[in-house]
Structure 1
Amino acid sequence: MLHSLYEFWTSAAGGTPLEWVAVVTGFACVWLAARESLWNFPTAIVSCGLYIFVYYGQQLYADCLLQIFFIAMGLYGWYGWQYGGARHSALGVTRTRPWEWAVVAVGVALFTAGFGYYLRHYTNDSLPYWDSFTTAGSLAAQYLLTRKRLENWLLWIVVDVVYVPILWHKHLYPSSGLYALYLVLAVYGYIEWRRAARAAVSSTALPVA
């Protein structure tokens, strides 16, 4: 009976139990980040650990490596949000510096071209350049998130728009739906963080951490 229900669920909704747990925890961590909750980091670590196995099974190797980076950045961000501000105070929402934008643009372009070339010629990655681009964009966005830069949400919007059709193409339907929800949450996160930034400006100039 249980086996029949499992087969019905996976055939109707798509995905495996492992993917669905990764989806639920992934959604939770982004929602918590949009709310500026510190709990987004431990939740993200759990979700990323699960997605290592999900992406490996679909031959998306760059995304596997990306999850390892996310785990490391989750630990860094967990600490940084608490003590990364002035005099080890809590970190506030700040604007992205011009030099950070320059590094992001050059870094994403070089990573996409270089790692995409490697994946295309030396692995069986099914979408080498798209896989590399989403990885590079996510790396940049996650770094800005750990530094509480407002514009991290703009990068996530771009990345999520690309991820939705890629994951659908790979028959990872729950994950594709999750990234569609991420897109909505990224817009919500940008609005909420911008409101927090403006509230800070009302009392003092927006700090640059």
Structure 2
Amino acid sequence: MHNLITLFIEQIKETTWVQWLAVALGVAEVLLARVNNIWLYPTGILATVLSIVLLMEAQLYAESALNVYYVVMSIYGWVYWIKKRDQPPVKVAWSNKNEWLISLAISLGGWAVLYMLLKNFTPSNVPVWDAFVSSTAWAGMWLLARRKIENWIFLNISNLFAVPLLFYKKLPMFAILTVFLFIVACFGYFEWKKVLKKDREFET
């Protein structure tokens, strides 16, 4: 136990200012997401651009690709959330059957594709783990962009597996951020359920 604490302290001391900044922006993003605030997207874009650089240095290639995907989905989600001239804002909702199938396809299909790419075209020593963390997060981000409550479930599956992976790759602040994201996502899930309940009560 003492060795683990010592290793953790050493990793913290070696943490660069870029990682601290990326983590701070990541915290801001998830707090904005929890309260259903559209500013989560520009904040998240800044955080992910910094994260791409750091993850590439750590040879977490699928996580790097995931962050590129985050940027794309953040732009998509930003546009999707904005109120259009002749349409109301997109409301929080449960996923329908088709959206569940798409989410599972992104998770499982993405896992297989990423694993093959990592195994055959990169020097990654954690292809299975790296691919799974990224593919489940892909599905979560897609659902988040569409304001579906289940996004928190997929994102937390990703978070759960990401924590030990990030510690292994000597990215302790990212690992701590992920623990924080896991906790906030739990609250976010119940918060969005309350929002949906209020919307339904208002409609009736």
* TM-score (norm. length: structure 2): 0.90
SS at match of 1:158: helix
Report the Cα distance in structure 2 between the residues aligned to 1:64 and 1:115, rounded to whole angstroms: 12
Aligned counterpart, 1:3 = none
Aligned counterpart, 1:4 = none
Instruction: State the 1:67 CA deviation.
Output: 1.2
Instruction: State the 1:112 CA deviation.
Output: 0.9
Instruction: State the 1:118 CA deviation.
Output: 2.1
Aligned residue pairs total 196
The answer to whether the 8 Å contact 1:14/1:174 transfers is: no
Deviation per residue, 1:72-110 (Å, 9 max, x gap):
1111111211237x9422111011111111122123212
Read off the aligned partner of 1:69 and give its amino acid letter.
Y
Read off the aligned partner of 1:116 and give its amino acid letter.
Y
Unaligned ranges ≥5, structure 1: 1-8
The answer to whether residue 32 in structure 2 is matched with residue 32 in structure 1 is: yes
Read off the aligned partner of 1:129 and give its amino acid letter.
V
SS at match of 1:83: coil
Report the Cα distance in structure 2 between the residues aligned to 1:13 and 1:182, rounded to whole angstroms: 22
SS at match of 1:88: coil
Aligned counterpart, 2:96 = 97
Report the Cα distance in structure 2 between the residues aligned to 1:121 and 1:63, rounded to whole angstroms: 16
The answer to whether the 8 Å contact 2:106/2:136 transfers is: no
Aligned counterpart, 1:180 = 179
Deviation per residue, 1:24-46 (Å, 9 max, x gap):
10011011001111110000000
* 179 and 11 in structure 1: CA distance in 2 versus 1, 3 angstrom threshold: closer
Aligned counterpart, 1:189 = 188
Unaligned ranges ≥5, structure 2: 1-8
* TM-score (norm. length: structure 1): 0.88
